[in-house]
A and B are shown apart, each in its own frame.
Chain A
């Protein structure tokens, strides 16, 4: 998935130095972490958060996630023991006492979590799923 990308098609008249606009050192000791609660599209897009790499995974779950997803009617019903966690598409089992860094959640990593019993608000009116 993460094959080495090269600049074969970039053409320029002169030198074209590399300038990464979002290097980790620009974020005051934090790194950017994206979060996506799968199937819950009431939140229109995944979130982008600046978080310290030392943040324990348990604090992410107990402090950060309630702040950003708490308004969803299903949030309180989440069984964190059964929640499935993915670093992009890679499944991982978090240790709540260990840091984001420990879990390999580098700068600009995407955490996707799936809550199997809760698949968004379902309505009986439509023929399909009413996921949000």
Chain B
């Protein structure tokens, strides 16, 4: 009698196949298209899901082991940072405002991403795509948690981090990232992957993560740097999913090409507009600068992106419609954004300030064609006003773009002294846009964007006042009441850095004798 040889352990590839393809079956009691309705309604045609190349053959047991090891290392560093009062080692308390922007605006996106991938991880017909999305859903939830834990240490010592979930759902500038993700995950699964896995993770992620993480490294924030390293290996997996999904759609049917192209046009532009906040952070909020936004754009977008679109040309894909305008914007958007936040710095949840002289010189040097000519004059004027009449804040709410929700601060490509205006009418109502690209996104799906929760309009509708305020007559200072609703403490969580408790506390802890407003 022959003894049956039992193979004790499956190889990595077999285990992966067993876990993905092996756990999939075609339904018989119900038609497949009713069990998986989502991956066909967008118009994307898939003929053979087996052609899906799994971007990263990761099994669940390997995932647990690998991520567990990373988390142990990360939390060891976070603990050591806390025990050694690492917050005292940062370059300057102004740096913490970059972290505030991160915990308010970026960390909630990780949670949105988790929800999005959990959804498409159920809805794709192909098992490989489902498993890749499910693993990414877990990654995103981990990132939300580890970022929150890494930054929570700062919350014990600095203002502006105590109410971030509520802020993300209400405050005007945070509606920019929030509406970006809501737009993505209310699309179908293929659009979601094009938006987040491809445009965001593959094309633009280096412009989000590198500035924050190398900014942290340059400014002595080891805790955030370690989080960055921990997330980095996940990001490379996410990027691979992004490019695989695009190639899969393009190879499955030629009818998919124009749909994918339209999504690329849209999501490149949506992502680019969102990155305005990062551009500002990079050029104005890091006491020790890494590189300018313009340099980062040239390195990560122009050279990498240019090569990518050459590669995709064989499928009939061209560079996104807004590409040239985005490249032209590299000389302007960070300055326009900081000028906006400076004047609305009483209505945000972090501090703003005028660049110091050495920083103005750095900006002039990095932006030789634009800074002195178009932007320095504003900052010089505000510096004079601050000396003579006190810090100036703009008390009137700004007009926002209906699609990206950024204040209408961007200028025409050919004339940086003129605001770029675009409008259209839909069902009798006017809608305004910051750019021809945001207008185009609206006009493709107007019924979607007329629902937008535009923060300034919502304030005037009375959606952002405490219960004791009559929205029809909110009193002499509507902004004060709105801040009370937000849970933002004026002067503590916002206002000018020079007069903030963050500045004076940090100076006291470090035994710094410098006066308010002097550089460290």
Binding site for B on A (CB under 8 A): 1-3, 5-7, 9-13, 16, 18-23, 26-30, 32, 34, 36, 38-39, 41-50, 67-68, 71, 73, 88, 106-110, 112, 120-121, 123, 125-132
Tell me whether A46 and B452 are in contact in the complex, defined as CB-CB below 8 angstroms, given that A11-B43, A13-B38 are known contacts.
no
Interface size of B in residues (CB-CB distance below 8 Å):
64
Which chain A residue lies CB-closest to B444? A9
Q: Is the CB of B262 within 8 A of A107?
A: no
Q: Does B418 contact A (CB under 8 A)?
A: yes
Q: Is the CB of A48 within 8 A of B399?
A: yes
Q: Is the CB of B417 within 8 A of A5?
A: no
C-alpha spacing A34/B454, complex, angstroms: 14
Nearest chain A CB to B462 CB, angstrom units: 7
Tell me whether A9 and B445 are in contact in the complex, defined as CB-CB below 8 angstroms, given that A48-B399, A110-B432, A130-B373 are known contacts.
yes
User: Which one, A2, A5, A12, A21, contacts B446 given CB within 8 A?
Assistant: A5
Q: Is the CB of A88 within 8 A of B453?
A: no
Tell me whether A22 and B41 are in contact in the complex, defined as CB-CB below 8 angstroms, given that A9-B262, A48-B399, A108-B432 are known contacts.
no
* Set of chain A residues within 8 Å of B372, measured between Cβ atoms: 125-126
* Set of chain A residues within 8 Å of B460, measured between Cβ atoms: 27, 30, 32, 48, 50
Q: Does B274 contact A (CB under 8 A)?
A: no
Q: Is the CB of B423 within 8 A of A1?
A: yes
- Closest 4 interchain pairs by CB? A130-B377, A45-B407, A44-B340, A45-B398
Q: Does B519 contact A (CB under 8 A)?
A: no
* Set of chain A residues within 8 Å of B450, measured between Cβ atoms: 18-22
Q: List 16 A-B contacts (CB under 8 A).
A: A2-B430, A5-B442, A19-B450, A26-B461, A34-B432, A39-B418, A41-B419, A44-B340, A45-B407, A71-B392, A107-B430, A108-B431, A110-B432, A125-B372, A132-B378, A132-B381
List B residues 375-390 near A (Cβ within 8 Å). 376-378, 380-381
Q: Is the CB of B378 within 8 A of A41?
A: yes
Instruction: Apart from A13-B38, A49-B396, A108-B430, list 4 A-B contacts with CB within 8 A.
Output: A13-B37, A20-B451, A36-B419, A132-B381
* Set of chain A residues within 8 Å of B343, measured between Cβ atoms: 43-44
* Set of chain B residues within 8 Å of A50, measured between Cβ atoms: 460
* Set of chain A residues within 8 Å of B451, measured between Cβ atoms: 19-21
Q: Is the CB of B417 within 8 A of A39?
A: yes
Q: Is the CB of B41 within 8 A of A11?
A: yes
Tell me whether A131 and B417 are in contact in the complex, defined as CB-CB below 8 angstroms, given that A5-B443, A43-B394 are known contacts.
yes
User: Which one, B336, B373, B380, B399, contacts A47 given CB within 8 A?
Assistant: B399
Which chain A residue lies CB-closest to B410? A45
Q: Is the CB of B421 within 8 A of A88?
A: yes
Q: Is the CB of B41 within 8 A of A12?
A: yes
Q: Is the CB of B409 within 8 A of A109?
A: no
Which chain A residue lies CB-closest to B384? A73
C-alpha spacing A132/B462, complex, angstroms: 32
Nearest chain B CB to A72 CB, angstrom units: 10
C-alpha spacing A127/B417, complex, angstroms: 14
* Set of chain B residues within 8 Å of A1, measured between Cβ atoms: 423-424
Nearest chain A CB to B436 CB, angstrom units: 12
Nearest chain A CB to B369 CB, angstrom units: 10
Q: Is the CB of B419 within 8 A of A46?
A: yes
Nearest chain A CB to B327 CB, angstrom units: 21
Q: Is the CB of B423 within 8 A of A2?
A: yes
Q: Is the CB of B424 within 8 A of A2?
A: yes
* Set of chain B residues within 8 Å of A45, measured between Cβ atoms: 340, 398-400, 407-409, 419
C-alpha spacing A51/B11, complex, angstroms: 71
Give per-residue flags for B415-456: 1 if the beta carbon is below 8 A from chain A beta carbons, else 0: 001110101111101111000000000111111101111101
Q: Does B42 contact A (CB under 8 A)?
A: yes
* Set of chain A residues within 8 Å of B378, measured between Cβ atoms: 41-42, 132
* Set of chain B residues within 8 Å of A6, measured between Cβ atoms: 446
C-alpha spacing A108/B400, complex, angstroms: 11
User: Which one, B339, B417, B423, contacts A129 given CB within 8 A?
Assistant: B417
C-alpha spacing A71/B396, complex, angstroms: 12
Nearest chain B CB to A74 CB, angstrom units: 11
Nearest chain A CB to B393 CB, angstrom units: 10
C-alpha spacing A48/B455, complex, angstroms: 11
* Set of chain A residues within 8 Å of B374, measured between Cβ atoms: 128, 130-131
Q: Is the CB of A28 within 8 A of B407?
A: no
Nearest chain B CB to A66 CB, angstrom units: 12
C-alpha spacing A73/B394, complex, angstroms: 14
Q: Is the CB of B447 within 8 A of A7?
A: yes
C-alpha spacing A49/B423, complex, angstroms: 18
User: Which one, B396, B408, B409, B425, contacts A5 given CB within 8 A?
Assistant: B425
Q: Is the CB of B457 within 8 A of A48?
A: yes
C-alpha spacing A61/B377, complex, angstroms: 27
User: Which one, B376, B398, B424, contacts A46 given CB within 8 A?
Assistant: B398
Which chain A residue lies CB-closest to B394? A43
Which chain B residue lies CB-closest to A18? B447
Which chain B residue lies CB-closest to A126? B373
User: Which one, B373, B409, B429, B472, contacts A108 given CB within 8 A?
Assistant: B429
C-alpha spacing A71/B340, complex, angstroms: 16
* Set of chain A residues within 8 Å of B394, measured between Cβ atoms: 43-44
Which chain A residue lies CB-closest to B37? A13
Tell me whether A21 and B42 are in contact in the complex, defined as CB-CB below 8 angstroms, given that A2-B423, A7-B445, A46-B408 are known contacts.
no
Nearest chain A CB to B444 CB, angstrom units: 4
* Set of chain B residues within 8 Å of A46, measured between Cβ atoms: 398-399, 408, 419
